[in-house]
Amino acid sequence: MLTTSVNAAEKVLARCQTLARFSEDREGTRRTFLSPPMHDCHREVSQWLAEVGVSTRVDAAGNLRGIYPGATPDAPRLLMGSHLDTVPNAGAYDGILGVTLAVALLEGLEGRRLPFAIEVVGLSEEEGVRFGRPFIGSRALVGRLDDELLDCRDAQGISVRRALEDFGLPVNEIPQARLDADVLSYLEFHIEQGPVLEDLGFALGAVEAIAGQSRLEFTFAGRANHAGTTPMHLRHDALAGAAEWIVAVEKAAEVAAGASKGLVATVGVLDVKPGAVNCIPGQARLSLDVRHASDEVRENAVKDLVQRAQEIAQRRELRLSSKMLLDQRAVAMDTFFVAQIAEAMRKVGCAPHRMVSGAGHDAMILAEQVPAAMIFLRTPGGVSHDPSETVRAGDITKAIACGMQLLEQLAGSREFLTRTRRA
């Protein structure tokens, strides 16, 4: 096995910075689904892969794909990679690090062939920025890029279907993007996007589950009126009711988090009407985001928070409506694969820490059909989705060492080599 060098880590960092320059914006990084800078991304990553003898193609969903051959022509495949799109004003590592680390592992093999092939994939879309629907790239790999999603439109009225065509892709070949039956597993390296590993003093984490997520919209409706002429006891202030509920969400989540280890609840959107300084708010529309690794805990928390909103609205003589926008179940990573990652971490001198991801990732989509697992890298300051997002070179060195050790273990594992794709 190749001894990982500091130079390899610096190379990964430099490559992430190179891709960050491919942007729709003059200042900062923004690279949404199949925007023109994605051509530059594909060209650059393809060049890196060509240097290790891998030719690439772009499938009909815009995913960049290249296969490093196995020891035999019919060798099954390990899939590795992440997404190439970004949020607006993004950092350089979210998603992209998973692709550059996959390339680094191929370079670390130095031409050696394993009992399995390795397919590197740069997924076309994960963030959901352009069309409001995430995971377009990975959905295609599991056969879920359907007509409903293809007909979704962006702010300019361009559909997903049209975006694919404009990028020069054959939409009629989307079914061919689906994973073949010879894919053994999917491995995704990713920055943690949170403070847990840094708080613990660990470089890496083995993700054993991706939290389920509920997204809801609430509307408190009262009566708009003049701010100077309406006595306090005759008001029906929608914003005051919403504000009371926001505080109740925070307090309830803090209590629940202590009892259930990890529940989080967030109100991230607040839209108030009429929205004038001298008007009593007649309507307040809010979002609610609740996440936990246990679907039962998450669902019970949502029910409790809905009930609290109803009680506040009733007491304040407001009308309340709510609707569910997303109900994403928690996804467990493959137990065998997670155990192999933890063992590889231990063997290269890292604490075999297991953790839950509070953010969604392509691994949760691919896990529908192939055994999947993730390796998190410590995120200094817990900062992500921001230009100040970063990762330490020393942690990348450890991630490469862990990845190389994992490949060694999998190459010698009969259980891994005889896996079959889920129906």
Write down the pLDDT at residue 140. 98
Q: Which tokens is 50 given? A: 């060509």
Write down the pLDDT at residue 423. 43
Domain assignment of residue 43, yes or no: yes
What's the pLDDT tens digit per position in 67-99?
999 999 999 999 999 999 999 999 999 999 999
Domain assignment of residue 335, yes or no: yes
In terms of domains, do 144 and 269 share one? no
pTM tops 0.75, yes or no: yes
What's the pLDDT tens digit per position in 384-393?
999 999 999 9
The amino acid present at 421, given as its one-letter code, is R
In terms of domains, do 206 and 243 share one? no
In terms of domains, do 96 and 237 share one? no
Q: Quick one: average pLDDT of 360-365?
A: 95
Q: Quick one: average pLDDT of 196-212?
A: 97
In terms of domains, do 149 and 59 share one? yes
What's the pLDDT tens digit per position in 293-327?
999 999 999 999 999 999 999 999 999 999 998 89
Helix (H, G, I), strand (E, B) or coil at 165: helix
Q: Which tokens is 28 given? A: 């900062």
- For residue 372, the cross-strand partners are 186
Write down the pLDDT at residue 162. 98
Domain assignment of residue 422, yes or no: no
In terms of domains, do 97 and 195 share one? yes
In terms of domains, do 33 and 105 share one? yes
What's the pLDDT tens digit per position in 9-47?
999 999 999 999 999 999 999 999 999 999 999 999 999
Reported confidence tier of residue 4, pLDDT bands at 50, 70, 90? low
Reported confidence tier of residue 262, pLDDT bands at 50, 70, 90? confident
Q: Are 214 and 299 in contact (CB under 8 A)?
A: yes
Q: Which residues contact 151 (CB under 8 A, 6 or more apart)?
A: 159, 160, 161
Domain assignment of residue 1, yes or no: no
Domain end: 312, 327, 342, which one?
A: 327
Write down the pLDDT at residue 5. 60
Q: Are 126 and 190 in contact (CB under 8 A)?
A: no
What's the pLDDT tens digit per position in 91-127?
999 999 999 999 999 999 999 999 999 999 999 999 9
Domain end: 327, 358, 387, which one?
A: 327
Return mean pLDDT, the chain: 95
Q: How many Cα atoms are found within 13 Å in the side-chain-facing hemisphere of 106? A: 29
**Range(s) of the domain holding residue 185:** 6-210+330-417
Domain assignment of residue 317, yes or no: yes
CATH number, domain containing residue 296: 3.30.70.360
Domain end: 327, 360, 391, which one?
A: 327
How far is residue 346's CA from residue 340's CA, in Å, rounded to a whole number?
10
Write down the pLDDT at residue 1. 42
In terms of domains, do 179 and 159 share one? yes
- How many domains does the structure of the chain reveal? 2
Reported confidence tier of residue 419, pLDDT bands at 50, 70, 90? confident
Reported confidence tier of residue 261, pLDDT bands at 50, 70, 90? confident
How far is residue 64's CA from residue 42's CA, in Å, rounded to a whole number?
7
Tokens 């491995």 -> residue? 187
CATH number, domain containing residue 130: 3.40.630.10
Q: What percent of the chain has pLDDT over 70?
A: 97
Domain assignment of residue 44, yes or no: yes
Domain assignment of residue 263, yes or no: yes
Reported confidence tier of residue 2, pLDDT bands at 50, 70, 90? very low
Integer CA distances (angstroms), 248 to 251, 262, 263, 310, in order: 5, 18, 15, 12
In terms of domains, do 252 and 269 share one? yes
In terms of domains, do 311 and 371 share one? no
What's the pLDDT tens digit per position in 331-349?
999 999 999 999 999 999 9
Write down the pLDDT at residue 3. 43
In terms of domains, do 188 and 259 share one? no
In terms of domains, do 300 and 223 share one? yes
In terms of domains, do 22 and 93 share one? yes
Q: Is residue 260 over pLDDT 80?
A: no
Long-range contacts for 257-264 (Cβ within 8 Å, ≥24 apart)? 260/292, 260/294, 260/297, 262/211, 262/292, 262/293, 262/356, 262/358, 263/290, 263/291, 263/292, 263/297, 263/298, 263/301, 264/289, 264/290, 264/291, 264/292, 264/358
Q: Is residue 222 over pLDDT 90?
A: yes
Q: Are 292 and 330 in contact (CB under 8 A)?
A: yes
What's the pLDDT tens digit per position in 158-202?
999 999 999 999 999 999 999 999 999 999 999 999 999 999 999
The amino acid present at 224, given as its one-letter code, is A
Beta strands in 281-358, from DSSP E residues, in sequence order = 283-292, 319-328, 331-332, 354-357
Write down the pLDDT at residue 168. 97
Angle at 80 between CA 75 and CA 86, to 5 degrees: 150
